[in-house]
Amino acid sequence: MLFEVWAPNAQQVEISIEGRSETLRPDPSRAGWWQADLPAADGARYAYVLDGGPALPDPRSRRQPTGPDGPSAVVDHDLFRWQTPWPGRGLPGAILYELHVGTFTPEGTFDAAIERLPYLARLGITHVQIMPVCPFPGTNGWGYEGVSLWAVHEPYGGPEAMKRFVDAAHQHSLGVVLDVVHNHLGPSGNHLPKFGPYFTDLHNTPWGDAVNLDAPGSDEVRDFLIGSALSWLRDYRLDGLRLDAVHALVDTRALHFLEELSTAVDGLSAALGRPLFLIGESDLNDPRTTAPREAGGLGLHAQWSDDFHHAVHTAVTGEAQGYYADFAAAGPGAVAKVLTHGFFHNGSWSSFRGRHHGRPLDTSEVSGHRLLAYSQTHDQIGNRATGDRLTLDQLGAAAALVLTAPFTPMLFMGEEWGAATPWQFFTDHGDPELAAAITRGRRREFASHGWAEEDVPDPQDPATRDNSVLDWAEPEKAAHRELLDWYRALIALRRAEPALTDPRLDTVAATAGGRTLVVARGPFRVLVNFSDTAAQMPLDVPCQVVLARPECKLLPGPAVRLPARGAAVLRAESVTVEA
């Protein structure tokens, strides 16, 4: 087996493997690379030693059996026997379900999560989106402080368990998307700087020095990140990747990293003969994120739409603090704007930022499936002080909008039954000083918003993770079962009716009035009453009720009487639909 490592500043590189030590030789064809061809079987443990220093895990380690600081292990991906031929499943027409392996079940493992895949298939989900799985300190964490970007967190089951999960998902016709983090690594277990200039102080991010995408040595760093992305898609048979906070990838080079990455992924897709896609999390509201490369864009296939979330969240909750302020001021009109324009801030004034923000989408050209719509995500729940979720009534109204939108819908685990369990921020750092600093920082952050210290869960307390585990007995309780039936009905309707998956934004009409909203999607009219009192809502054409929660009443006019916090989907009795 050929062992290779990039260590441009080292004078000598050794490998400690299975109790013996070998010296690597410089690669004459690649500056800064060292290599050795050595016998090694699957599972063989090894570490690199630079200039007589401590043993370090391989930056491209495929497995970390004892955690981020321990030795690496060889993984022979060819040994796994896949059971399911998989042609792939693309993003258009998809319904995603975001889940965190560590709290999706009490066991917090891939194998335990496999048992719940039939439920997701029956719900009507098409793709499972897994939160980050790269190794991180301890057992429990969100995954955004991962290191070893080619490996799988061992407490989840390691590489073999992840492959079993993906194979089982494919057996149920479920695609799998993985959330990957290229913008930073965790503060603990990150040994990359000892090998080379993986980071640069030319730019700063919320997590410290930026990943080196444009300074000397950045060719190798970019190759490292792209190689990791391709490995997930190829070796684990994933269908797509969600890229965390791409706006924090500072890159001044003429060829942007994301353009280079999307080119490589499209190339792999062609080679494998199955669709692959990239979904970016971006705060920029920049159409170029998902515009084709040949049109001057970065070529990502979709991006999260926080504007959609903020508009719906303020409409159903009435919250108006921080970045919600502009959306709350617009009322249901914010939802109407997002449904018809894609972005709310499309060059408009952002009071939160103190400047204008965003750029308009060309709604005659941009397909709506390139924006993800959601009312809850790990971020929007977990970054609240207590990790509280929307209520049953709030979710019912929000779901009607999410699941009939021209965008790609995404649910967060448990929302479909209105999970009463919170989803809180939790960590498991063994370093006492780092652990204490995280707890202090979390409580200090929310103290500035009026929260008492004792009311903010301690991220390091094991109970914080335990409180965040889904309660799978809840869906059997009456109120939760009723909401689950509503989600199932909406998903079934969306999948059955082409008008509801039509991604053309310029065919959507949305009218806000007071605390109500009417959305026209082909022959369908989606009505939501965000107020605490019943509302009489006029219709442009006579309709019949398809779905309603709670029951609504058709009136002459035509009009509908919709109860407080109600939502309904109606079908026009006669309407001409543009081809």
> Residues 69, 244, 416, 497: which is the catalytic one?
244
Question: 392-402 vs 478-496: helix axis angle to the nearest 10?
Answer: 0
Contact 304, 280 (CB under 8 A): yes
Q: Is the bond preceding residue 550 a cis peptide, omega within 30 degrees?
A: yes
Q: Based on the number of CB atoms within 10 Å of its own CB, is 146 exposed (0-12), middle (13-18) or buried (19 or more)?
A: buried
> Residues 214, 259, 281, 306: which is the catalytic one?
281
Q: What is the DSSP letter of 192?
A: H
Max Cα–Cα distance, the chain, nearest Å: 86
Buried b (16+ CB within 10 A) or exposed e, 39-71: ebeeebbbbbbbeeeebbbbbbbbbbeebbbbb
**Which contiguous run of DSSP H or E holds residue 337?**
helix 332-341
**Which contiguous run of DSSP H or E holds residue 231?**
helix 218-235
**Which contiguous run of DSSP H or E holds residue 562?**
strand 559-562
Length, in residues, of the chain: 579
Question: 3-class DSSP state for residue 465?
Answer: helix
Q: What is the CA radius of gyration of the chain?
A: 25
φ, ψ (nearest 5 deg) of residue 323: -70, -5
Q: How far is CA 35 from CA 19, 151, 285, 333, 477, in A?
A: 19, 21, 44, 61, 60
Q: Mention every residue, 6+ apart, whose C-beta is less than 8 A from residue 240.
A: 91, 127, 175, 177, 178, 233, 276, 277, 278, 279, 301
Q: What is the DSSP letter of 89?
A: -
Strand partners, 208: 205
Q: Rounded CA gap, 492 and 399, in Å?
A: 13
Residue 281 bears catalytic tag: yes
**Which contiguous run of DSSP H or E holds residue 129?**
strand 127-130
- DSSP conformation letters of 242-253: EETTGGG----S
Buried b (16+ CB within 10 A) or exposed e, 166-187: bbbbbebebbbbbbbbbbbbbb
Sole residue written with tokens 């190794």: 135
- Across 347-393, where does the E strand assignment appear? 348-350, 355-357, 371-373
| The one-letter amino acid at 458 | D
φ, ψ (nearest 5 deg) of residue 33: -100, 145
Residue 22 bears catalytic tag: no
Q: Is the bond preceding residue 558 a cis peptide, omega within 30 degrees?
A: yes
CA dihedral 154, 412, 279, 359 (to 10 degrees): -140
Sole residue written with tokens 């081809």: 579
Q: Rounded CA gap, 480 and 503, in Å?
A: 31
| The one-letter amino acid at 347 | G
Active site members: 244, 281
